[in-house]
Amino acid sequence: MADEHAQNPEVESEENGTDRRDFLKGGIALGAGIIGTAAVACAPEKEAPAAKAPAEAAAPVAAPAKKAEHAGPEIHVPPGKLDDYYGFWSGGQSGEIRIVGVPSMRELKRIPVFNRDAASGWGGDDFSKQLLGGKLSGDTHHVHLSYNDGTYDGRYVYVNDKAGARLARVRCDTMEVDMITDIPNSQGTHGIFPQRHKTGYVMCNAEFRTPQVNDGRDMDDPTKYGALHTAVDGETMEVKWQVMIEGNLDLCATDYKGKYSFATCYNSEGGVTLEEMMAAERDHLYVFNIAAIEAAVKAGKTMTIGDSDVPVVDARGEDGPYVIRVPVPKSPHGINIDPTGTYGICSGKLSPTCTVVELDKLDAVFAGEIKPRDAVVAEPEVGLGPLHTAFDGRGNAYTSIFIDSVVTKWNIDKAIQAYNDETIDPIIQKIDVHYQIGHINASMSETKDADGKWLVALCKFSKDRFLNVGPLHPENDQLIDITGDEMKLVHDGPTYPEPHDAVLVKREMIHPSKMMVRDGPRFEMYEKMAAEDGVDLMKDSKVIRKGPNKVRVYMVSVAPAFSQSSFRVKTGDEVQLVITNLDSVEDLSHGMCVSKHDVNFLVNPQDTKTMTFTAGPPGVYWYYCPWFCHALHLEMRGRMIVEA
């Protein structure tokens, strides 16, 4: 049996598919047992698709009439041809961002953000070390680009670090991080979303409630805990203001007009244990009124917390001018705004439903004319464990269903009709994904230009889909063609754990530079240093003793040589290497590696990099260019002579 499996994994899929696809349902039932009433929200008998035999569940729920086979767009991108979309993937625990070409699903680049990257030297060179402040890990979940007028402006990519409560920015010309901002008074910075009417705020949610101030007080009194919804200026990366709220803030979204931001809230109970967090049947979608908050900040109706001088608006407790709470079934997760900006769709997670909120009704809610729940216009049942929703620009929504391991395609208008007419079924199709899908996104889905071509399903488990590579399996990023009436799975993409979210951006919108762009905070740092030493970074080659134990070494490189074939320092010296790559040939990167000193960094064409280290015991240490750059690449080296 085992042999047979090894040789024919497809047979195994067929045979054991049921177990594999359904194993988490058992887990949930168990969890529900512990927490009592939670069973109601996800009782299998309440959820029709789950009760079906797997083969049946896999079939479209509303079987569409037989149609001519839909050909679909070409997924194969031949050698030498380019993809249509840049996919920006968060790297999860790897702390990075990845650029993936879509539809080929080829990984094109990794952008180190909160991690140490040996290839580029990120985390080791002086600039990144300063940005990271000594931290070398992070947990990136959500990647979003800067906007103008409802679509991407091609300038920045923002990404959160849940572990360190930070927000980083990548510039799209160099595809490097230029700024990182610490979010004050926060832990578990999770959902982020930039404003979409222009490059304004990037809103950041704190998922974990903590004592405010978190300095040892109130540790055993969770009623005094709070969480912050934070506005960071997307241009300057300064924290502008925060709103304090009583519940956990999970996913984040913004509208298309610049009026509102949103946060899903699980644990409105304010619990600190699983049982406490799941006690109530309802949680909330928080809606933040940005103009009202700005007015309060301007009028000084704010406080500060601890050492932070960021103005904080206290909006805990009742609905008011700053925030309203739309009741939704317990423990919601994703909040996604449809491309027309009309609806916010809140995915149920523990409830098999998506709650559709009509955004134009929110003004009336804030005015006290209608109740928050009156803004809900639909609540379709989509499957067990709905997490996130994407859009095709044709009125359809695609929700990732974690427990059922499917993507559910449903029609928003029909769901609204079905809210008052049970005979209408808004569900168009459910397609199996492999397995346990988390995020989902469609091409341009988070913009008004959603084009309904490709859907990416980021599956948390790959199980039998790839060769066994040991206990840690790859994730499985699947590509689905959504151009036709029916979704079609067209590609499995193994990825290193753990992409959470991805956005797909038309390639015309992104314009990376082939040479380093010599501006921004990194170059300000180098120019200041060079000015202090009277050095021209683009031509000078100098060894400058800066103190009894401090040496700065300026060098330039042109393939296949460094401008110095040797330099001298003393044991124990703090040595700072400043290397400029003068080559202006596309793709001609050099680097600097110093033998036995843990010094290794990349210097791209027209770039400068610096790294600081301590010179070791007396002796000769070869430094060399580690990037294959020339026929004489191996000769591109010199001696660091360390004297006693």
Considering only 106-114, 294-302, 486-494, 623-631, which stretch makes contact with ligand CUA by CB under 6 A? 623-631
Cα separation, 475 vs 90, in Å, equals 13
Q: How far is 94 from 97, CA to CA, in rounded Å?
A: 9
Contact partner, 349, from ligand CUA, ligand K7E, none, Cβ < 5-8 Å per class: none
Residue 333 contact, options ligand CUA, ligand K7E, none, Cβ 5-8 Å cut-off depending on partner type: ligand K7E
Segment interacting with ligand CUA, rule: CB under 6 A, options 2-10, 536-544, 548-556, 624-632? 624-632
Q: In which order are the strands placed within the sheet that holds 454-459?
A: 437-442, 454-459, 475-481, 488-495
According to DSSP, the β-strands at 488-495 and 282-289 are: unpaired
Q: How far is the CB of 253 from ligand K7E (least distance, A)?
A: 11
d(CA 77, CA 84): 9
Mask: binding to ligand K7E, 427-446, rule CB under 6 A, as x and -? -----------xx-------
**C-beta closer to ligand K7E: residue 387 or 553:** 387
For the CA atoms of 442, 447, 451, 455, the dihedral, rounded to the nearest 10 degrees, stands at 0
Binder among 625, 638, 640, 642 for ligand CUA (CB under 6 A) = 625
Report the partner that residue 190 touches, choosing among ligand CUA, ligand K7E, none (CB closer than 5 to 8 A by kind): ligand K7E
Find which of ligand CUA, ligand K7E, none residue 622 binds, CB within 5 to 8 Å per kind.
none
In 254-306, alpha helices (H): 274-277, 290-298
Instruction: Give me the half-sphere count of Cα atoms (radius 13 Å) on the Cβ side of residue 265.
Output: 31
Strands 542-547, 252-254: pairing kind: unpaired
Q: Considering the complex, what minimum distance in angstroms separates the CB of residue 626 from ligand CUA?
A: 7
Ramachandran assignment for 234, one of left (phi > 0), alpha (psi -120 to 50 degrees), beta (any other)? alpha
Q: Is 141 a residue that touches ligand CUA (CB under 6 A)? A: no
Give 459 or 629: the residue with its C-beta nearer to ligand CUA. 629
Subset of residues 589 to 608 that bind ligand CUA, contact rule: CB under 6 A: 590
Residues in the interface with ligand CUA (CB under 6 A) total: 9
Choose among ligand K7E, ligand CUA, none what residue 627 binds, the Cβ cut-off being 5 to 8 Å by kind.
ligand CUA
98 interacts with ligand K7E by CB under 6 A: no
Based on the shown chain and the rule CB under 6 A, indicate whether residue 141 belongs to the binding site for ligand K7E: yes
Asked if residues 472 and 450 have their Cβ atoms less than 8 Å apart, the reply is: no
Q: Which is nearer to ligand CUA, 98 or 637 (CB)?
A: 637
Give the number of residues in contact with ligand K7E, rule: CB under 6 A. 11
> Cα–Cα distance between 2 and 5 in angstroms, integer?
5
C-alpha 111, offset from chain centre: 12
Buried/exposed 396-422: b ≥16 CB within 10 Å, e otherwise: bbbbbbbbbbbbbbbbbebbbebbeee
User: CB-based contacts of 63: which residues, under 8 Å, 6+ apart?
Assistant: none
Distances from the Cα of 598 to the Cα of 94, 122, 133, angstroms: 21, 13, 19
**Is 350 near ligand K7E (CB under 6 A)?**
no
How would you classify residue 284: left for phi > 0, otherwise alpha for psi between -120 and 50, otherwise beta?
A: beta
Q: Which is nearer to ligand K7E, 142 or 209 (CB)?
A: 142
Residue 190 in contact with ligand K7E, rule: CB under 6 A? yes
Q: What is the C-alpha to C-alpha distance for residues 189 and 230, in angstroms, rounded to an integer?
A: 9
**Contact status: 501 vs ligand K7E (CB under 6 A):** yes
**Which of ligand K7E, ligand CUA, none sits in contact with 453, Cβ below 5 to 8 A by type?**
none
Q: Kindly state whether residue 349 participates in binding ligand K7E, applying the rule CB under 6 A.
A: no
Taking CB under 6 A as the criterion, which residues in 241-280 touch ligand K7E? 251
* Cα–Cα distance measured from residue 122 to residue 116, given in angstroms and rounded to the nearest whole number: 6
Whose CA is closest to 280, among 291, 294, 270, 292? 270
Closest to 241 in 3D by CA, of 312, 161, 343 = 312
Q: Does 387 bind ligand K7E (CB under 6 A)?
A: yes
Count of beta carbons in the 10 Å neighbourhood of residue 252: 28
Cα(429)–Cα(435) distance, rounded to whole angstroms? 17
The distance of closest approach from Cβ of residue 117 to ligand K7E in the complex, given in angstroms and rounded to an integer, is: 22
Binding to ligand CUA (CB under 6 A): which residues in 546-565? Answer: 559-560
Rule CB under 6 A: say whether 256 interacts with ligand CUA.
no
What's the DSSP call for residue 66? P
Stretch near ligand CUA under the rule CB under 6 A, chosen from 11-19, 165-173, 378-386, 625-633 = 625-633
| Residue 480 CB, nearest approach to ligand K7E (Å) | 17
* Comparison of 141 and 552: residue with beta carbon closer to ligand K7E: 141
Determine if 629 is a binding residue for ligand CUA (CB under 6 A): yes
Under rule CB under 6 A, residue 499 binds ligand K7E: no
Closer by beta carbon to ligand CUA, 308 or else 566: 566
**If binding is defined by CB under 6 A, does position 552 make contact with ligand K7E?**
no
Provide the H-helix boundaries in 436-558: 521-533
**CB of residue 402 to ligand K7E, shortest distance in Å:** 8
One-letter amino acid of 382: V
Taking CB under 6 A as the rule, does residue 142 contact ligand K7E? Answer: yes
Interacting residue ranges for ligand CUA, rule: CB under 6 A: 559-560, 590, 625, 627-629, 633, 636
Residues of this chain that bind ligand K7E (CB under 6 A): 141-142, 190, 251, 333, 387-388, 438-439, 500-501
